[in-house]
């Protein structure tokens, strides 16, 4: 049975029957398709996003998943209490993926270095908290793996440079998980703006979501670490801290020791779109100002801004304003000849003629995640540049980190502090407080 036939048969008969196919039949189907053409992949981090990517990868039949890895064996606490994520649920998902060659051979690890040791693994998908991205990416590149690494590419400005170096030195393919780059609608808008459809670009307004979880306030009590959770490995390079469940799974993004709040969560997408429309694949602004920032009471477990607004000026004269809101509009581009905006609630423009050629979001269209993963797999095979290579992922992350530095200073400085930014050096010019905010506290042996 060939792959196409097997897929049709799976679609027709459904998963349960396909599951009963003997393993030997699956293996021969794989051989018939040409084993050399199929990628062998490991998934590192199988939480909220890792599990989604794993599902999309399996649905689109993009390769064989030989390993999954997570420091969490399997626990709830995601969107619903019975919504379980972690390495065992991930391994089971691969095993249940009916008719998949080699599904029975998927190993589950708690140490990502065991995945990198596997010589049969061509590529890894990294979907761990931000404070782990650079270490895993660099070690994966050194181990000869191609890499799909979630956004924001880095956790700190200096990390991005090291990631670029490791990826380019090793001749690796890296796709940043900025999947809007594979969204046909975002592509249309950003490329149209880039091509001058709204005239000279003057201003971009981007949105980041409000914090969508509530964490414990001042005086919170540590909790016992669950037996199924490798908390020390989760912390990795981050400072030693008492465990609380709201520190870790999903909610790490609201704590500056592991992430940058919604500025790097949503902002890594919307500000990446801003750069895309500006025609800026590398580099960044020349001036940044925080206009507003609100925080929870000191001593709260969540430390990131709950609401914020910042402004940047680019050498081209374009102004970028990024603000908290409901991200119905991710990016609005204003030019000398009109405006266009796009986001989770559609795409509009000052004149409908500006949207001529806009792809319809149409039912049945593949999700941007699937398209982005497929682009990665294709590039691993052809060695072409993926849509969101390491330099693009870095530039968008650096902008968010620089803005976050001033956002974090805002309670002390108040409004009106405009700081010069050198995009070539990726550094603030002449403000030591701002500079110091770019260097996170980290510890051995990962520091």
Ligand X SMILES: NC(=O)c1ccc[n+]([C@@H]2O[C@H](COP(=O)([O-])OP(=O)(O)OC[C@H]3O[C@@H](n4cnc5c(N)ncnc54)[C@H](O)[C@@H]3O)[C@@H](O)[C@H]2O)c1
Residues of the shown chain interacting with ligand X in the complex, contacts defined by CB under 6 A: 44-50, 69-72, 85-86, 112, 127-130, 132, 150-151, 177, 179, 233-234, 236, 249-250, 252, 265
Q: Is the CB of 41 or the CB of 318 nearer to ligand X?
A: 41
Q: Which two tokens stand for residue 69?
A: 């890895």
Distances (CA, A) of 269 to 67, 344, 426, 446: 28, 12, 20, 28
- State the residue number with the nearest CB to ligand X: 47
Min separation Cβ 421 and ligand X, Å: 23
Min separation Cβ 157 and ligand X, Å: 16
Instruction: Report how far residue 187's alpha carbon sits from residue 71's, in angstroms, rounded to the nearest whole number.
Output: 36
Min separation Cβ 108 and ligand X, Å: 11
Collapsing DSSP to helix, strand or coil, 182 comes out as helix
Q: Is the CB of 422 or the CB of 446 nearer to ligand X?
A: 446
Q: Is the CB of 125 or the CB of 380 nearer to ligand X?
A: 125
Min separation Cβ 183 and ligand X, Å: 11
Min separation Cβ 129 and ligand X, Å: 5
Residues 6+ apart with CB under 8 A from 178: 151, 268, 269, 272, 372, 388, 392, 393, 396
Cα end-to-end distance, the chain, whole Å: 51
Q: What b/e readout covers 166-190, taking b as 16+ CB neighbours within 10 angstroms? A: bbeebebbbbbbbbbbbbbbbbbbb
Q: Is the CB of 48 or the CB of 306 nearer to ligand X?
A: 48
Min separation Cβ 401 and ligand X, Å: 13
Q: Is the CB of 43 or the CB of 339 nearer to ligand X?
A: 43
Instruction: Report how far residue 225's alpha carbon sits from residue 223's, in angstroms, rounded to the nearest whole number.
Output: 6
- DSSP H helices in 39-183: 48-59, 87-96, 112-117, 133-142, 157-169
Q: Is the CB of 50 or the CB of 423 nearer to ligand X?
A: 50
């Amino acid at each position: 049975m060939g792959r196409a036939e097997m897929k049709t048969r799976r679609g027709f008969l459904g998963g349960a029957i396909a599951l009963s196919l003997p393993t030997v039949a699956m293996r021969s189907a794989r051989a018939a398709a040409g084993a050399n053409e199929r990628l062998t992949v490991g998934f590192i981090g199988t939480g909220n996003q890792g599990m989604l990517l794993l599902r999309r990868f399996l649905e689109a039949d993009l390769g064989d998943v030989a390993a999954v890895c997570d420091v969490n064996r399997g626990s709830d606490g995601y969107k619903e209490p019975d919504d379980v994520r972690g390495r065992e649920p991930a391994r089971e998902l691969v095993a249940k993926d009916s008719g998949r060659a080699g599904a029975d051979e998927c190993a589950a690890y708690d140490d990502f270095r065991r995945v990198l040791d596997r010589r049969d693994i061509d590529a890894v998908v990294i979907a761990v908290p931000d404070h782990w991205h650079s270490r895993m990416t660099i070690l994966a590149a050194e181990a000869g793996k191609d890499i799909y690494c979630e956004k924001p590419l880095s956790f700190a400005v200096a990390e991005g440079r090291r990631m670029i170096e490791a990826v380019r030195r090793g001749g690796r393919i890296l796709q940043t998980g900025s999947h809007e780059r594979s969204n046909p609608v975002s592509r249309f808008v950003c490329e149209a703006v880039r091509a001058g459809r709204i005239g000279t670009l003057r201003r971009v307004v981007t949105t980041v979501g409000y914090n969508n979880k509530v964490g414990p306030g001042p005086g919170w009590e540590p909790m016992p670490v669950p037996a199924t959770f490798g908390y020390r490995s989760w912390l990795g390079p981050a400072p030693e801290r008492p465990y609380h469940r709201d520190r870790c799974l999903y909610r790490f993004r609201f704590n500056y020791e592991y992430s940058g709040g919604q500025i790097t969560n949503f902002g890594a997408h919307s500000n990446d779109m801003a750069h895309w429309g500006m025609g800026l694949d590398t580099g960044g602004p020349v001036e940044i100002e925080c206009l507003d920032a609100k925080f929870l009471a000191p001593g709260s477990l969540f430390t990131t801004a709950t609401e914020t607004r910042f402004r940047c000026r680019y050498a081209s004269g374009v102004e970028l304003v990024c603000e908290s809101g409901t991200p119905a509009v991710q990016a609005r581009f204003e030019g000398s000849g009109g405006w266009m905006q796009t986001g989770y609630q559609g795409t509009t423009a000052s004149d409908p003629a500006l949207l001529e050629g806009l792809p319809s979001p149409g039912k049945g269209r593949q999700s941007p995640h699937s398209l982005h993963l497929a682009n990665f797999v294709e590039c691993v095979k052809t060695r072409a540049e993926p849509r969101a290579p390491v330099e693009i992922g870095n530039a968008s992350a650096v902008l968010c980190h620089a803005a976050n530095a001033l956002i974090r200073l805002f309670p002390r400085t108040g409004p009106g502090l405009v700081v010069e930014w050198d995009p070539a050096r990726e550094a603030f010019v002449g403000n030591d407080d701002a500079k110091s905010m770019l260097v996170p506290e980290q510890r051995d042996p990962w520091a």
